[in-house]
A = this chain, B = another copy of it.
Amino acid sequence: MAPVAHVLFNRFMRFNPKNPKWLNRDRFVLSNGHGCMLQYALLHLYGYALSMDDIKAFRHIDSITPGHPEAHDTPGVEVTTGPLGQGISNAVGLAIAQAHTAAVFNKPGFDLVNNYTYCFLGDGCLMEGVSSEACSLAGHLQLGNLIAIYDDNHISIDGDTNQAFTEDVLKRYESYGWQVLVVEDGDHDLEGIEAAIKKAQETKDKPTLIKLRTTIGFGSKQQGTHGVHGSPLKADDIKQLKEKFGFNPEQSFVVPQQVYDHCHKKAAEGAALEEQWNKLLAQYAEKYKAEYDDLVRRLKGELPQGWEKALPVYTPSDAAVASRKLSEIVLTKIHAVLPELLGGSADLTGSNLTRWKDAVDFQPPSTGLGDYTGRYIRYGVREHGMGAIMNGLAAYGTIIPYGGTFLNFVSYAAGAVRLSSLSRVRTIWVATHDSIGLGEDGPTHQPIETLAHFRALPNMMVWRPADGNETSAAYYVALTSKHTPSILALSRQNLPQLEGSTIDKAIKGGYVLHEQPGADITLVSTGSEVCICIDAVKELKEKHNVKARVVSIPCFEVFDLQSKEYRLSVLPDGIPSLSVEVMSTMGWERYTHEQFGLNRFGASGAYKDVYKKFEFTPEGVAKRALATIDFWKDVPNIRSPINRAFQQII
């Protein structure tokens, strides 16, 4: 891929290595991330902050040149790639972000945002379903500034692609509505590559896939075989390779000065381009003050002063409402003050309640269904694609993306979700129908393992709010956490507004909802089970003369970040505790002595029947609370599970 990388970087890409965050830079994504030495070499040659020592430290511990590109580690890397299919899907997100940002901010005479998104991808990326989802949507959305270059080398790790991948890729991409172009000799035909990229740039209403016929390991004795896919070349092969390309075979890590000069000249042109652009921006600032201020603010990742006043606040006398509906109310209130919010759903809009009234859809104007200023994306039934696209949207710099699906189907997007966490982007999943409480759809749709899964993921905030104030708190923390993605698990069924909940308390991740001096037990819960615990308090008091306090932990991750002192005040020594949550108990042992959960699949039926079947009722909770108290009564001064020898949260 070196020839096309050279043509692309030297003849097309607009970038300033001294400011890798310049808004209008062209984006480059290496979807086949295992080839990252190519990307590191480019960054080095063009003068990004990546030295020859960094190159030498390739795949060594604590280097900025890890085995696959990581955006937060390496200046000039736009998105974190390697898990196949993600990069090209991120690129779709970057291209959507560009089209949207241009539609919102560009003005006559101010073509502020017009960058291209380029992406290299290989056979593996094309085989992965996530790329099929994202690329089908990209075709529908007519993303003309997206240009993907397919390294068609006929080799994957197992050998020749004829073993498993004989589809007609070009025809498939045509079926998606892409322009497809071919360069027959990607090893030598630099002019052909240039012509293809030019044609791609000129086609404004379609993304383009350029198929480049290449030879893997070009120049090696093993060229064209899978022997060069993942293993280093042998010494004698490296030697002949260097000789073939005119290098001294005895030397390593040598870049001829004329190569540096050539690249740095291009880099200087890029710096000049940005300077010119900054002048344009200064004029824009004068003419379009409000837009300018908004753009600058968004680029900093900061929210407008006082935005949080738009968050709704509830009192116990307010009506019982499903938390998915509470989420809709939040979105309805905040979308006007947070123009960077770009939402959507994987074809469950009416169930996820992710679309505020009168939202404009993000659609190509020619469809008559919306335009590129639109802030609501119809993702189709494409959860994994949506997740990867959100990562690209967030990486662009001007957008905070959220996307809706059922909590159970966030798992379809697990590959993208973990990259949100790893690459530290602010994405928000509006994950409704969060438990057996969804009722009739049954076990195929009822999450059991899902919260444990995502709670175990580092740098991921999983929220399960119990009422309106907790829902507002979840949005508050999710939106103000610049470098952490969130999943908001929301109920289908109605939940009462709780006595004792406030936004301020809930943003600590866990708090005492119902205090009780001299309590015999602490009931600890989340989401739709908190109100059941509140009813269980009455049951315990009236029928058993037992005093219970109730703790709500809407977000483990945020609660874990509080001081030990605070956490021990919530879950103190001396009182046995019981967790209540209608899904896998895994992870609850960190907070409570006993767990009441569901370590089996659910059932299809009216949600109240399903809760009853599994005894998630005030009586069922009380029964287990009594068993807990009884079991722990002979342990004096029982220690809180919070109380540990050492903590390994991050």
Contacts and interface: CB of A to CB of B under 8 A. Distances in A.
Interface of A: 33, 59-63, 66-68, 70, 80-85, 123-125, 127-133, 136-137, 139-140, 156-158, 162-169, 171-172, 174-177, 345, 347-351, 361, 363, 367, 369, 378-385, 408-409, 411-412, 414-415, 418-419, 421-422, 440-445, 448-449, 452-459, 584-587, 589-590, 593-601, 603-606, 609-610, 613, 624, 627-628, 630-632, 635, 639, 641, 644-646, 648-650
B83 A409 contact: yes
Contact of A369 (B123, B162, B414, B603): B162
B166 A441 contact: no
6 contacts: A61-B609, A61-B610, A82-B441, A83-B408, A452-B456, A596-B648
Nearest to A417: B411
B348 A445 contact: no
Given A59-B605, A163-B363, A414-B453, 5 more contacts: A140-B164, A163-B380, A414-B414, A458-B584, A586-B590
Nearest to A128: B381
A345 B130 CA distance: 18
A172 B126 CA distance: 13
Contacts of A380: 127, 156, 163-165
A598 B158 CA distance: 32
A636 to B, nearest CB: 9
Contacts of A169: 175
Contacts of A128: 129, 133, 381-383, 412
Contacts of A157: 347-351
A62 B609 CA distance: 10
Contacts of A80: 444
Contact of A66 (B414, B603, B609): B603
Given A586-B587, A650-B599, A604 B66 contact: yes
Contacts of A600: 458-459, 650
A418 B127 CA distance: 22
Contact of A162 (B176, B367, B411, B650): B367
Contacts of A597: 648
B174 A458 contact: no
A380 B85 CA distance: 13
Contacts of A361: 163
A182 to B, nearest CB: 15
Contact of A449 (B33, B448, B454, B609): B454
Nearest to A576: B645
A377 B318 CA distance: 59
A589 B456 CA distance: 13
A443 B158 contact: no
Contacts of A367: 162
A131 B349 CA distance: 22
Contact of A452 (B139, B452, B601): B452
A174 B171 contact: yes
Contacts of A408: 83
CB-based closest 10 A-B pairs: A129-B129, A61-B605, A589-B589, A66-B604, A631-B645, A164-B380, A452-B456, A453-B453, A132-B132, A171-B175
